[in-house]
Amino acid sequence: MMKNPFIIAGLALTLAAGASPVQAQFFKKLQQKLEDKVDRKVDGMINGQKGTKTTAEGKSSKPMPKLEEVYSFVPGHTLFFADNFTSDKAGRMPKRWKSSGGGSIATIPDVPGKWLALAPRTTYRIDSILAMPGNFTVEFDILTRSTQAKDIGALVFGFGRDNSNRSYIQDAYNDNAITGTQLHFWNEDISNSSSDTKIHNSLEYPLSNYANTTIHISMSIEGENMRVYLNRSKLVDTRMFKTNTIKYFYLSAPYDYEGEAMTYFGNFVISKL
């Protein structure tokens, strides 16, 4: 039976009133832990969902999705578009990109190359009217920096029906979007959705282990089918588009960050198959 944290917190206060100083301190810590869970609104006792377990070191206990016996992603053979921001000035938006808000080129200590710092509540697009080719691959890196991964909001990427940068795209169902792959760092899951084919699936992924690391994303689009990989883990492989759908790539930064968390984007490549 699910226990109500508000009742437990009240019981802790009641017991603390008649306890010894040592016991009172214990009940005070218990109350604070319960209040923190209520404030975060994500504890499984409150919302009825399965809670996330972590190890003593704060690492997720969720297993890594099984890797393919044969890694099936193969980059396209003809370069279509690539940008690693080499010629862009620090502190400015890259010349070949546009956004719904802001963003700036940055260098990160001990990390080679230049990176686009992703401003919260902002969507990024290639500054071109060219749609994606018929069959192609996309690769890019996401660099995370935070005290803990759950300080990073959900990051979304996918394809839209146009290349407008007027709106912040949060999912596959609004602002003329078609697909959306969402990395939910707090909930430790990844969802893949398509408004074209009504696909929606999610899988558990130990994203709490990704507070300060580089995540490599690979996508392969062949006709109506799309495959997406995080590092070497396949996230989706199914029909995500209607026939002959025009597609434009987008990347949306988290809606917000906590503490000093930040995400960066770089090493972007599109190749024709």
Query: Rounded to an integer, what distance in angstroms lies between the CA atom of residue 261 and that of residue 211?
Result: 9
Domain tally, the chain: 2
Query: Average pLDDT over the chain, rounded to whole?
Result: 84
**Cα end-to-end span (Å), the chain:** 54
pLDDT computed for residue 67 by the predictor: 59
Distance of CA 96 to the CA centre of its chain: 23
Domain CATH number, residue 113: 2.60.120.560
Tell me: the pLDDT tens digits for 201-260?
999 999 999 999 999 999 999 999 999 999 999 999 999 999 999 999 999 999 999 999
pLDDT computed for residue 61 by the predictor: 61
pLDDT computed for residue 27 by the predictor: 45
Query: Rounded to an integer, what distance in angstroms lies between the CA atom of residue 68 and that of residue 135?
Result: 22
In a domain, residue 132? The reply is yes
Query: Rounded to an integer, what distance in angstroms lies between the CA atom of residue 201 and that of residue 12?
Result: 40
Take residue 211 and report the two structure tokens written for it. Answer: 């507070």
Same domain flag for 164 and 232: yes
Contacts (Cβ under 8 Å, ≥6 apart) of 216? 139, 140, 141, 230, 231
Q: How large is the greatest C-alpha to C-alpha distance in the chain, in angstroms?
A: 75
Same domain flag for 246 and 204: yes
CA dihedral 186, 187, 188, 190 (to 10 degrees): -110
- Between 9 and 195, whose confidence is greater? 195
**Residue 148 buriedness (CB in 10 A; 0-12 / 13-18 / 19+):** middle
Query: How do strand 233-239 and strand 111-117 relate by DSSP bridges?
Result: unpaired
Confidence band (pLDDT; 50, 70, 90) for 179?
very high
Tell me: the pLDDT tens digits for 161-171?
999 999 999 99
- Between 63 and 210, whose confidence is greater? 210
- Between 16 and 222, whose confidence is greater? 222
For 66, which DSSP code?
Answer: P
Same domain flag for 28 and 157: no
Tell me: the pLDDT tens digits for 246-273?
999 999 999 999 999 999 999 999 999 9
Question: Which region among 80-94, 122-136, 214-228 has the lowest average model confidence (pLDDT)?
Answer: 122-136
One-letter amino acid for residue 192 of the chain = N
CA distances (Å), origin 220, targets 139, 232, 254, 272:
9, 13, 24, 10
Whether residue 150 is predicted with pLDDT greater than 80 in this model: the reply is yes
In a domain, residue 62? The reply is no
- Domain extent at residue 157: 78-272
The phi-psi region of residue 236 (left if phi > 0; otherwise alpha if psi is between -120 and 50; otherwise beta) is: beta
- Between 47 and 99, whose confidence is greater? 99
pLDDT computed for residue 68 by the predictor: 64
Same domain flag for 124 and 39: no
Same domain flag for 120 and 253: yes
Across the range 39-46, mean pLDDT stands at 38
Across the range 174-198, mean pLDDT stands at 97
Same domain flag for 154 and 240: yes
pTM strictly above 0.85: no
pLDDT computed for residue 71 by the predictor: 83
pLDDT computed for residue 63 by the predictor: 65
Same domain flag for 128 and 254: yes
Phi, psi (degrees; rounded to nearest 5) at 218: -125, 135
**Residue 250 forms beta bridges with which residues?**
158
